[in-house]
Structure formats: C-alpha cells, structure tokens
C-alpha cells in the first residue's frame, strides 16, 4: 500500500473526507512552493497535488495556465522540482501527488520518472492526457513500484469506459465535475451527485471530485457523495500575489483553505 492508500483507509475509518489542494510548482519559485506546502500541511490538508508546469496545457483554465507560464518563464525544471520536494518531504505529513502531462513522463522515461518521483517523495501521479487504451505500460510500472497512477473520469465519459479507467487506476479516481477546463464556478451541474453515486457503487477506489470546486457550498454539496475534494484554481489565483507579497498570498490561501476545510466531515 502507498501513503495515498493508507490515507484513505484512515479517513474512512474516521468517517472523514480528504481535502486536496492543487498548487503549481515553481510559481514564482520553488522556495515559495515549499512554504506553501508546509502551510497546507500545518492547516491539516489531507494531500497536496503539485502541478508540473507544461507549455501545452491539457485541461487547465486561465488561472492555472498563467501560473504554468510564470513558472516556465522562471526556468523551472523537473529536476529542480524533484530536488526541492525531496528537501521538504521530511517536514510534511500529507502525501504528495504530481499532476503531470504524459509528454513529460515520456520525455523523461516512464520508469525513470516513477523512480525519481518516488525518490523525491511523491506517492503517485495524475496524468490527465493519458488515454486508458495507452496506459498499460505506465500502469504496470506503477504497480511494480508501488506508485499510484490516478486517472480522470469526465462528465462525458461513457459508463463502460469509466469502469475501464477505474480498473486501470489506483490510489483514487479523479472525477471531473464539469466539462471544459479547470476554473472557479458559481455552480456545479445538478446531476453531478447522481453520476458520482453511480460510479461509487461500481468501484472500490475512493472517488475525489475536482474542477470548479471553490466555495463552501460546493463542499457541502459534494462531501457526502465523494471521498475527497480537490481545489485548484481558487487557491492558485490567491497565490498569484506572491510576487508582490508572499505573506499576503499565504494568508489569503490559508483563509480560503480553513473555510473549505471547515465544511468537511
């Protein structure tokens, strides 16, 4: 079992749900990213997703895309991300998972990527552009090395295909709440709860919901039917101001995180 597997077993035994913030590595620099990770851990977050900046975003809205652009402009490299995460890992209780394009994994080498990620302290990877039909190689490597491969199910995924994705995934299943790109939204689809409930009855994997989750009312709606909630753009947007004031950015992020955590069981 991985640290992610252990986390969900523990949360289930306590009747609790996971809260998983997403942040961009290296925006505006890795020293600040490490401060953000430590703050999120101190606040009691269950896990953190770390976005590996990529020049051709897959499903990222303008807020996250802009954060990737800033990090790439600062010349952030994968080796730098791994190095800094490895240094911060001993100070953190929560597991870490990377959000990474398969293009990066392929260029680095799938086995080498998993080895380096494990050495840095990551427990898994979310790979949003990896088709289930093409995932056997990476999935086998991840199984052999006890590293979670987390894949996405979208609102338009046919049910049969959703089950195949669940079978190929481990750690948890990332359920995309809305069609389109990431970003904050005023409301979520009315049939979202029904779609997640259907899938939960058919897979033993924990199901965590992301894309558009940004408000306390979203948490109240989705917590009962999910095993965890993922918040990205709402947090990344608040961290934009780090270039002007790191303390203000951290304080704003902490205020939102506390408000959302307070709505979870």
CA–CA gap between residue 216 and residue 260 (Å, rounded):
5
Q: What does the block give as tokens for 233?
A: 């753009």
| C-alpha–C-alpha distance, residues 120 and 265, integer Å | 31
Q: How many helices (H) and strands (E) does the chain have?
A: 12, 9
Q: How far apart are CA 99 and CA 124, in angstroms?
A: 9
Report how far residue 248's alpha carbon sits from residue 76's, in angstroms, rounded to the nearest whole number: 23
Enzyme catalytic residues: 49, 60
Q: What are the CA-CA distances from residue 55 to residues 30, 72, 82, 126, 232 (Å)?
A: 18, 8, 19, 17, 18
The count of other CB atoms within 10 Å of the CB of residue 264 is 18
Tokens 């029904």 sit on residue = 194
Which of 152, 252, 150, 231 lies closest to 188, judged by CA? 231
Instruction: Note whether 45 and 21 are within 8 A (CB).
Output: yes
Q: Phi, psi (5° rounding) for residue 231? A: -125, 120
Question: What is the phi/psi pair of residue 210, to 5°?
Answer: -140, 180
Token pair, residue 53, equals: 């900046």
């Amino acid at each position: 079992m991985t640290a992610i597997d252990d986390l969900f077993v523990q949360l289930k035994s306590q009747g609790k749900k996971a809260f998983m913030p997403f942040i961009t590595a290296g925006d505006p620099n890795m020293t600040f990213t490490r401060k953000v990770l430590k703050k999120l851990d101190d606040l009691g977050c269950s896990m953190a997703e770390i976005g590996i900046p990529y020049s051709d975003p897959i499903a990222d809205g303008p807020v996250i895309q802009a954060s990737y652009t800033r990090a790439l402009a600062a010349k952030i490299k994968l080796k730098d991300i791994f190095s800094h995460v490895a240094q911060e890992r001993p100070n953190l209780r929560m597991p870490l998972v990377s959000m990474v394009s398969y293009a990066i994994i392929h260029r680095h080498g799938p086995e080498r990527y998993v080895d380096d990620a494990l050495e840095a302290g990551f427990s898994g990877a979310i790979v949003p552009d990896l088709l289930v039909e093409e995932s056997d190689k990476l999935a086998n490597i991840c199984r052999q090395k006890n590293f979670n491969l987390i894949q996405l199910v979208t609102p338009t995924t046919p049910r049969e295909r959703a089950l195949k994705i669940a079978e190929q995934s481990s750690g948890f299943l990332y359920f995309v709440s809305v069609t389109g790109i990431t970003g904050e939204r005023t409301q979520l689809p009315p049939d979202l709860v029904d779609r997640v409930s259907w899938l939960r009855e058919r897979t033993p994997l924990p199901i965590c919901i992301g894309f558009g989750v940004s408000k306390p009312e979203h948490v109240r709606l989705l917590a009962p039917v999910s095993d965890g909630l993922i918040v990205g753009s709402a947090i990344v947007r608040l961290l934009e101001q780090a270039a002007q004031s790191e303390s203000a950015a951290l304080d704003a992020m902490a205020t939102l995180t506390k408000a959302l955590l307070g709505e979870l069981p």
